[in-house]
C-alpha cells in the first residue's frame, strides 16, 4: 500500500481523521465493493484527483475566511501599512477575494481597509512589491 508523508504538524495531528474520511469517500463514491471490475486505473485516478481538488480548494477557502473574520484580532504588525507605519481602519463591507495558489484558486470575503495617512485603500493580505 502506498503511503505519503504529510510534512506539516497540523496535518499530522489530524491524519487519522483524514484517513477515515478517505475511506468514507471511497465507500460513498464506489460502494462497499469498490470500483466495478474493468474500471480503468486512470478513471479511478481522475475521480480521486477531482476529490483532492475540491477538498484542497474548500479547506483553503475556509481557512482564509476564518482568518479574515478575525481581522479585529490581528497582531499589531499586521495592522499597519509597511510603507508608512500607520494603522489602517476598516472602511467598507468585505469584498470577494480570489487568489491563485498551488492548491487552486482561493476565494474568500475580506474587509477592505484604508490608511488615513496615505489615503489609500487596500486589502490586508495583498502582497506588496519589494524594493
pLDDT in tens, 12-34: 889 999 999 999 999 999 999 99
Closest CA to 74 of 88, 54, 57: 88
Q: How far apart are CA 122 and CA 34, in angstroms?
A: 50
State the pLDDT at residue 42.
97
| DSSP one-letter code for 86 | P
Q: How far apart are CA 107 and CA 103, in angstroms?
A: 12
pLDDT in tens, 78-98: 666 666 766 666 666 788 888
Asked if pLDDT for residue 127 goes beyond 70, the answer is no
Asked if pLDDT for residue 123 goes beyond 70, the answer is no
- The grid coordinates of residue 34 equal 469498490
Closest CA to 69 of 116, 110, 33: 110
Q: What pTM value is reported for the model?
A: 0.68
Amino acid at each position: 500500500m502506498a503511503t505519503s508523508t504529510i510534512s506539516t504538524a497540523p496535518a499530522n495531528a489530524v491524519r487519522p481523521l483524514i484517513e477515515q474520511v478517505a475511506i468514507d469517500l471511497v465507500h460513498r463514491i464506489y460502494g462497499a465493493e469498490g470500483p466495478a471490475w474493468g474500471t480503468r486505473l486512470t478513471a479511478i485516478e481522475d475521480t480521486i484527483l477531482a476529490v483532492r481538488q475540491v477538498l484542497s480548494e474548500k479547506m483553503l477557502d475556509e481557512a482564509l475566511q476564518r482568518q479574515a473574520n478575525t481581522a479585529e484580532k490581528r497582531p499589531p504588525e499586521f495592522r499597519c501599512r509597511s510603507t508608512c507605519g500607520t494603522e489602517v481602519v476598516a472602511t467598507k463591507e468585505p469584498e470577494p477575494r480570489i487568489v491563485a495558489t498551488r492548491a487552486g484558486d482561493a476565494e474568500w470575503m475580506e474587509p477592505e481597509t484604508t490608511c488615513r495617512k496615505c489615503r489609500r485603500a487596500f486589502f490586508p493580505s495583498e502582497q506588496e512589491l519589494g524594493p
